[in-house]
Amino acid sequence: MQSIMKDCNVQEERMKTSNMVWMLVQITDISSLLSEAHVWECTGSDKIKNYWLEAFPADQRHITKITLMC
């Protein structure tokens, strides 16, 4: 019963949101966003400081792949 209610809630939330245009995210997009971000703030729930994300370009490749999978 709860899973049915949960599915209904998901459908209701989808109806409330507008359709977004899918865009291809590239490594340069991630790099430019990180360069503009405050260095010692955490943008995500993982609490990783932006400094570390910007300092390791190899991580930016992985972030781009993960973003495209969602």
Our CA dihedral for 19, 50, 48, 57, rounded to 10 degrees, sits at 90
Residue 53 lies in a domain: yes
pLDDT tens across 2-59, in order?
454 455 566 677 677 667 677 788 888 888 888 888 888 887 788 888 888 888 888 8
Show the domain range for 41: 20-69
The number of folded domains in the chain is 1
Residue 52 lies in a domain: yes
CA dist 24 and 18 (Å) reads 19
**What is the pLDDT at residue 67?**
78
CA dist 47 and 61 (Å) reads 19
Residue 64 lies in a domain: yes
Residue 2 lies in a domain: no
Which pTM was predicted? 0.53
Residue 34 lies in a domain: yes
Residue 57 lies in a domain: yes
CA dist 31 and 44 (Å) reads 16
Residue 4 lies in a domain: no
- Of 28, 30, 23, 26, the C-alpha closest to 53 is 30
